[in-house]
Structure 1
Amino acid sequence: MQYDPNPNANTWAMILHFSQFAGYVVPIAGFLAPIVIWQLKKDDIPSLDAHGRNVTNWLITEFLFSILCTILLFVGIGFLGFLILAVLSVIFPIIGGIKASQGEVWKYPLTIHFV
Structure 2
Amino acid sequence: MNDISQEERTWGMAAHLSSLATFLVPGGNVLGPLIVWLVKKDTMPFVADQGKEALNFNITVLIAAIISFILMIVVIGFLLLAVVAAGWLVLTILAAMESSKGVAYRYPFTLRLVS
| Same fold, judged at TM 0.5 (above) | yes
Counterparts of 1:113 and 1:29 in 2: how far apart (Å)?
A: 19
Give runs of aligned pairs for residues 53-64 of structure 1, distance below 5 A: 53-64=52-63
Counterparts of 1:30 and 1:113 in 2: how far apart (Å)?
A: 16
Counterparts of 1:102 and 1:24 in 2: how far apart (Å)?
A: 26
Q: What SS does the aligned partner of 2:112 have?
A: coil
When residues 64 and 93 of structure 1 are mapped into structure 2, their CA distance, relative to the original with a 3 A threshold, is same
Letter of the 1:93 counterpart:
T
Counterparts of 1:89 and 1:9 in 2: how far apart (Å)?
A: 23
> What percentage of residue pairs aligned between the two structures are identical?
31
Gaps in structure 1 of 5+ consecutive residues: none
Q: What SS does the aligned partner of 2:73 have?
A: coil
Give runs of aligned pairs for residues 62-101 of structure 1, distance below 5 A: 62-101=61-100
Structure 1 length normalisation: TM-score?
0.89
For the Cα contact (< 8 Å) 2:33–2:52, is it kept in 1? no
Aligned to 2:35: 36
Structure 2 length normalisation: TM-score?
0.89
RMSD of equivalent CA atoms: 1.6
- Are 1:13 and 2:12 an aligned pair? yes
Counterparts of 2:6 and 2:65 in 1: how far apart (Å)?
A: 37
Counterparts of 2:73 and 2:27 in 1: how far apart (Å)?
A: 26
